[in-house]
Amino acid sequence: MKVLGIESSCDETGIAVYDSDSGQIWQRLYSQVAKHREYGGVVPELASRDHVVKAAPMLGEILDEIGGIDAIDAIAYTRGPGLIGALMVGANLAHGLAWALDKPLLGVHHMEGHLLAPMLADEQPELPFVALLVSGGHTLLVDVRMLGDYRILGESLDDAVGEAFDKTAKLMDLPYPGGPELAALADSVTQSRFEFPRPMTKRPGLDFSFSGLKTAALNIVKQHAPLDDRLRAEIAFAFQQAVVDTLCIKCKRALEETGYRNLVVAGGVGANRRLRQVLDKLGQVQGTRIHFPALEYCTDNGAMIAYAGALRLLHGQVDDPACDVLARWSLETLPVIPA
């Protein structure tokens, strides 16, 4: 089955086709980063308009590669969570195609797309597993008993981890989106004179809080202004170290509490080199298998939506054509994907 996947929940337009028989993927990805940079963050209305401009031509290119529109068997799109106007652009394209072609249609949960992205690699994580989902909008620890059967073990009570990276980068005058910039700066040094707290690690539980780290960074920036390059790098190093340690402590706790031996890490911050290193080490010490998506599938993309959609569409799960996009949507409400 060839499934078209359309991702438009934020500032990336992702169009992909996943062939469930061969595993082959055709994809296009367009990032609007340059458009939003001058505003220091995503401007929702500009995001929606850019999706309108880019999505159809990108789809046309992929259809040329797969031999035309008739090669598509079903259509999946990101139904939520995300920016409502941006989601509507992808949803309208998907609904229009499904209606015109008379093909099955399914709205995919964006975070399930991230969660399943490691499975685009050959290696399939063994069930059950713990998933750490770390993106610009979410920080979630999830108990994955079966695919589609999700229980939230912990989440951020304030900023998502990617958001904390981006905000901290911004207060150090790094260009948007600051996460990868801050990470590169942190990796340019091997130590720091600063030490940030590891929030909410001293008390039991699996929730997170990252807004205090941003405030800690702000205080240091104010005390030491104007910042030179070395100071900037040391603040980035201490911040990244605190985030990575905190995530690692909570992952270890979640694995101990569930007794599971597999950890899946996904979402944009899953591209962080230091996080990958530290979690790999945890895996070696604990005898846990750690699964990451390929770097190209960490941040938003159409392939993960086509893949997640295919798993459900293959079991006959389809949507009512009248269903709406959802700015907020809990993973816990999804139906199970039969084994």
- Could you list the residues that contact ligand KG4 (CB under 6 A)? 10, 135-137, 162-163, 165-166, 177, 179-180, 183, 267-269, 271-272, 299-300
Query: Which residue, 202 or 328, is less far from Zn ion as judged by CB?
Result: 328
Spatial neighbors of 124 by CB under 8 A, at least 6 apart, are none
Asked whether 248 and 274 are in contact (CB, 8 A), the reply is no
**Residue 80 binding partner per list ligand KG4, Zn ion, none, with a CB distance cut-off of 5 to 8 Å that depends on partner kind:** none
Confirm if 328 and 81 have CB atoms less than 8 A apart: yes
Q: In the complex with ligand KG4, which residue's Cβ is closer, 239 or 260? A: 239
- Choose the one of ligand KG4, Zn ion, none that binds residue 50, judging by a C-beta under 5 to 8 angstroms depending on kind: none
CA 120, CA 107: separation in Å to the nearest integer?
A: 19
Binds 183, which of Zn ion, ligand KG4, none (CB < 5 to 8 A, cut-off by type)? ligand KG4
Distance of CA 128 to the CA centre of its chain: 20
DSSP state of 335: P
Q: What is d(CA 238, CA 16) in angstroms, rounded to the nearest whole number?
A: 38
> How far is residue 170's CA from residue 172's CA, in Å, rounded to a whole number?
5
Q: Which one, 211 or 286, has the nearer CB to ligand KG4?
A: 211
Count of residues interacting with Zn ion (CB under 5 A): 2
Among the listed ranges 27-35, 206-214, 292-300, 312-320, the one in contact with Zn ion (CB under 5 A) is 292-300
Closer CB to Zn ion, 19 or 155, in the complex: 155
Q: Which amino acid is at 282?
A: L
> 314: exposed, middle or buried (C-beta count within 10 Å: 0-12, 13-18, 19+)?
middle
| Partner from ligand KG4, Zn ion, none contacting 180, C-beta within 5 to 8 A by type | ligand KG4
Which position among 7, 159, 300, 319 is part of the footprint of Zn ion (CB under 5 A)? Answer: 300
Other C-beta atoms closer than 10 Å to the C-beta of 158 total 14
- Shortest Cβ 213–Zn ion spacing (Å): 21
Task: Give dist(CA 317, CA 86) in Å, integer.
Answer: 24
Binding site partner of 271, from Zn ion, ligand KG4, none, Cβ cut-off 5-8 A by kind: ligand KG4
Q: With respect to ligand KG4, which residue has the nearer C-beta, 97 or 242? A: 242
The single residue listed with the structure tokens 């939520």 is 80
Q: How far is the CB of 95 from ligand KG4 (least distance, A)?
A: 22
Q: Are 308 and 76 in contact (CB under 8 A)?
A: yes
Residue 163 beta carbon to ligand KG4: minimum distance, rounded to whole angstroms: 6
Would you say 63 or 142 has its CB closer to Zn ion?
142
Give me the half-sphere count of Cα atoms (radius 13 Å) on the Cβ side of residue 3. 32
Q: Which stretch binds Zn ion (CB under 5 A): 15-23, 29-37, 127-135, 248-256?
A: 127-135
Provide the pairing of β-strand 129-134 with 25-31. unpaired
d(CA 130, CA 120): 18
Judged by beta carbon, residue 47 or residue 216, the one nearer Zn ion is: 47
Site string for Zn ion, 129-168 (x = CB under 5 A): ------x---------------------------------
Contact positions vs Zn ion (CB under 5 A): 135, 300
